[in-house]
């Protein structure tokens, strides 16, 4: 099974080389696609140099800053076009420990279409100390569960593994919302198409290098976007 790890980047020069090397040390058979959102800090140049060392490392440069949702969707489409069978989304800042990829693969092998790393089921956790980020994350997931009415606990989590079949059912061309809340739209569409989910616990680690992209505008946009997901799906 050809497995692609999709990593979106924007100004991640402090993290990207270490992350790429970590993933390949753990899973040398896996391929990595970096989708760089026109980082001005030289992230893509670091990846270009690493491509000389790793034949299964790929880079997709976006011509302008298009945001997280577009980066992931374009990455998934690239992988589908190249014939990959399994797709894992991974943050570039080590918020998601690459060790969890092994658990996700096991869940897929058990017959699930989608394996989700969750902060909010038993055994899951986050070491986030910032009250604003904690509150918005917890409230946002409760709000999303209330609006969408499905039994996931971590709708907005970014550590997800999809089969090719699941992505094709979701129809990536029909993802409407932007920002991190697109994760919820993908999961909701997958539910409606009958995909089987496994939600397993992970510990979300707050970044130690680089700058977070979260702000009040993004959060408010996300709250309205959940309603759009419900209405339009």
Instruction: Output the pLDDT for position 225.
Output: 75
Find, among 99, 97, 98, 115, the residue nearest to 107 by Cα. Answer: 115
Choose between 178 and 214: higher pLDDT. 178
Instruction: Output the pLDDT for position 217.
Output: 56
Q: Residue 168 above 50 pLDDT? A: yes
- The stretch 160-188 carries a mean pLDDT of 91
- The stretch 156-166 carries a mean pLDDT of 95
What DSSP line would sit under 132-199, residue for residue? HHHHHHHHHHHHHHHHH----S-TT-S-EEEEHHHHHHH-GGG----GGGHHHHHHHHHHHTT--EEE
Q: Residue 160 above 70 pLDDT? A: yes
Report pLDDT digits (tens) over 32-61.
Answer: 999 999 999 999 999 999 999 999 999 999
Could you tell me the maximum CA-CA distance found in the chain, to the nearest angstrom? 48
Q: How far is CA 136 from the centre of its chain?
A: 18
Binned at pLDDT 50, 70 and 90, residue 233 comes out as low
Q: Considering Cα of 114, then 158, then 219, then 206, what sign does the dihedral take? A: positive
Q: Considering Cα of 58, then 172, then 81, then 38, what sign does the dihedral take? A: negative
Tokens of 197: 């989910």
- The stretch 14-18 carries a mean pLDDT of 95
Size of the chain, expressed as the number of residues it contains: 233
Find, among 115, 117, 158, the residue nearest to 3 by Cα. Answer: 115
Report pLDDT digits (tens) over 183-210.
Answer: 989 999 999 999 999 999 999 887 554 4
- The percent of residues above 70 in pLDDT, for the chain, comes to 85
> Which domains, ranges and CATH numbers included, belong to the chain?
3-232 (3.90.550.10)
**Could you give the 3-state DSSP secondary structure of residue 62?**
coil
- Give this prediction's pTM: 0.87
């Amino acid at each position: 099974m050809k497995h692609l790890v999709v990593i979106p980047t924007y100004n991640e020069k402090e993290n990207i080389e270490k992350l790429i090397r970590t993933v390949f040390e753990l899973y040398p058979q896996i391929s990595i696609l970096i989708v760089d959102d026109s980082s001005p800090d030289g992230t893509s140049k670091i990846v270009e140099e690493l491509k000389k060392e790793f034949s299964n490392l790929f880079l997709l440069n976006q011509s302008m800053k298009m945001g997280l949702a577009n980066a992931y969707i374009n990455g998934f489409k690239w992988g589908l076009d190249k014939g990959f069978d399994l797709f894992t989304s991974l943050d570039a800042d080590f918020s998601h420990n690459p060790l969890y990829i092994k658990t996700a693969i096991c869940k897929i092998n058990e017959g699930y279409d989608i394996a989700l790393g969750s902060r909010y089921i038993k055994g899951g956790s986050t070491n986030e100390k910032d009250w604003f980020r904690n509150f918005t994350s917890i409230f946002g997931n409760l709000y999303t569960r209330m609006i969408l009415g499905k039994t996931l606990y971590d709708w907005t989590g970014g550590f997800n593994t999809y089969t090719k079949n699941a992505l094709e059912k979701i129809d990536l061309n029909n993802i409407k919302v932007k920002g991190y809340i697109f994760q919820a739209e993908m999961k909701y569409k997958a539910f409606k198409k009958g995909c089987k989910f496994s939600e397993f616990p992970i510990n979300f680690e707050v970044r130690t290098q680089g700058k977070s992209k979260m702000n009040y505008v993004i959060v408010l946009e996300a709250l309205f976007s959940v309603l759009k997901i419900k209405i339009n799906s």
